[in-house]
Amino acid sequence: MRKFLFALLLLAGLEVSAQDPIFSQFYAAPLQINPAFAGSGYAPRVGAAYRNQWTGFNNAYRTYAIFYDQNLDRLNSGIGFNLESDDAGNGIVKTMRFSALYAYRLKINDNLAVKIGVEGGLQQRTIDWDQLVFPDQVDPLDGPVITTGEQRPDQLNKTVLDISSGLVLLSDRFVLGGAIKHLNAPNEGILLVNDNLSRGLPLRYTLHGGTEIVVKEGNKLHPASFISPNFLFLAQGPYKQLNIGAYLAAGPVFGGLWYRTTFRNTDAGILLLGFRQDMFKIGISYDLTLSGLAGRAGGTYELTVGIFFDKGRKKSFDLNDCTRMFH
């Protein structure tokens, strides 16, 4: 049935993935949210993330990501690279994205700075035609049959240029940022249906922010303990979502609790538990589905891993400290 529905969507000329995949642990994959986060740490870092959404639908949506970024202190800049793969319908539609990011940091005063980021890369979408089941292949008595009258397209993949930009305001008390993705509205549609081309990707608007309440200062041997209330808002086409909650770090252990809504309905509650030791960090989260899909779709699992190449803590205050939940 899932393959049949995918075929109907394709034949209708609709986008199978109208909304970009977003990690619930967005702080563990910051380059996905805002290119201005490139180089937001005081040392280089590598991160990886895996998301299995709605496990009740047998690998309906899986997303993988790996990124690298570092701060270029002498140039007041940061650079980064982000690789992401999204698998929808258990392999029916696959999307690969690779991008390079650059962010420039403009210091306003000792306690305030602005980072402006840009991102450019390639995005490729591929359809596995052989997995699709079309309406004329469904027999009322026997179910799916082999033959179909649909003509196999000559092109089953397409690569497009994708450009994004963002801005982050760093203060000694808060972090506030925004980004716009798909500025060039890339058209990743593959099929031509009734002489109508599919539309380009809709712009994705992102607004995020948070503050940090230090419970206990850290040092070279022990990480700081703090609470970070924060929010993430995204809008893309007709879809909107808001994540609001708090991140808590208590020495080497961290956790979090968020509520996500699509404004039309309650979506999920997000639970996080993780551990950090020296330069390594690992987090596991679970999205508890609270919408009408609860009981059918199942929950969503995420696993993130980070390596932070800390070469020694600076004694002076650094505005990048305000983004510790992203480290």
CA dihedral over 141, 145, 151, 153, signed as positive or negative? positive
Per-residue pLDDT for 35 more than 70? yes
Mean pLDDT of 100-120: 94
Per-residue pLDDT for 4 more than 50? no
Mean pLDDT of 305-322: 63
Q: How many C-beta neighbours within 10 Å does residue 162 have?
A: 21
**Biggest alpha carbon distance in the chain?**
74
Note the pLDDT of residue 127. Answer: 83
Note the pLDDT of residue 59. Answer: 64
- Grade residue 303 by pLDDT with cuts at 50, 70 and 90: very high
Residue at 184: amino acid letter: N
**Better-scored residue on pLDDT, 292 or 192:** 292
- For residue 42, the 8-state DSSP code is S
Note the pLDDT of residue 148. Answer: 65
3-class state of residue 324 by DSSP: helix
3-class state of residue 179 by DSSP: strand
- Grade residue 234 by pLDDT with cuts at 50, 70 and 90: very high
- Grade residue 113 by pLDDT with cuts at 50, 70 and 90: very high
Mean pLDDT of 45-69: 87
Q: How many C-beta neighbours within 10 Å does residue 316 have?
A: 5
- Grade residue 116 by pLDDT with cuts at 50, 70 and 90: very high
- Grade residue 14 by pLDDT with cuts at 50, 70 and 90: very low
Per-residue pLDDT for 196 more than 80? no
Question: Which of 21-49 are b and which e, b meaning 16 or more Cβ less than 10 Å from the residue's Cβ?
Answer: bbbbbbbbbbbbbbbbbbbbbbbbbbbbb
Note the pLDDT of residue 244. Answer: 97
- Written as six digits, the tokens of 265 are 């309905």
Note the pLDDT of residue 321. Answer: 53
- For residue 322, the 8-state DSSP code is G
Q: Which residue has the tokens 């959404």?
A: 53
Residue at 165: amino acid letter: S
pLDDT digits over 268-300, tens only?
Answer: 999 999 998 888 999 999 999 888 766 666 788
Report CA-CA distances (Å) from 162 to 86, 103, 125, 181, 199. 16, 17, 12, 8, 14
- What are the structural domains of the chain? 2-326 (2.40.160.40)
- For residue 158, the 8-state DSSP code is E
pLDDT digits over 158-178, tens only?
Answer: 899 999 999 999 988 889 999
Q: Which residue has the tokens 């390594």?
A: 280
Mean pLDDT of the chain: 83
Note the pLDDT of residue 265. Answer: 84
- Written as six digits, the tokens of 12 are 């209708």
Note the pLDDT of residue 243. Answer: 97
Give the 3-state secondary structure percentages of the chain, helix then strand then coil, rounded to 5.
10, 50, 35
Percentage with pLDDT > 70 across the chain: 76
User: In sequence order, which residues have a C-beta less than 8 Å from that of residue 226 and are 6 or more positions away?
Assistant: 212, 213, 214, 215, 216, 248, 249, 324
β 253-261/266-277 pair status: antiparallel
Report CA-CA distances (Å) from 106 to 115, 118, 169. 6, 14, 10
Please say whether the beta carbons of 210 and 228 come within 8 A.
Answer: yes
How many C-alpha atoms does 189 have within 13 Å on its Cβ side? 21
Note the pLDDT of residue 142. Answer: 63
**Better-scored residue on pLDDT, 122 or 221:** 122
- Grade residue 322 by pLDDT with cuts at 50, 70 and 90: low
Q: Calculate the dihedral angle through the C-alpha atoms of 300, 45, 245, 33, rounding to the nearest 10 degrees.
A: -80
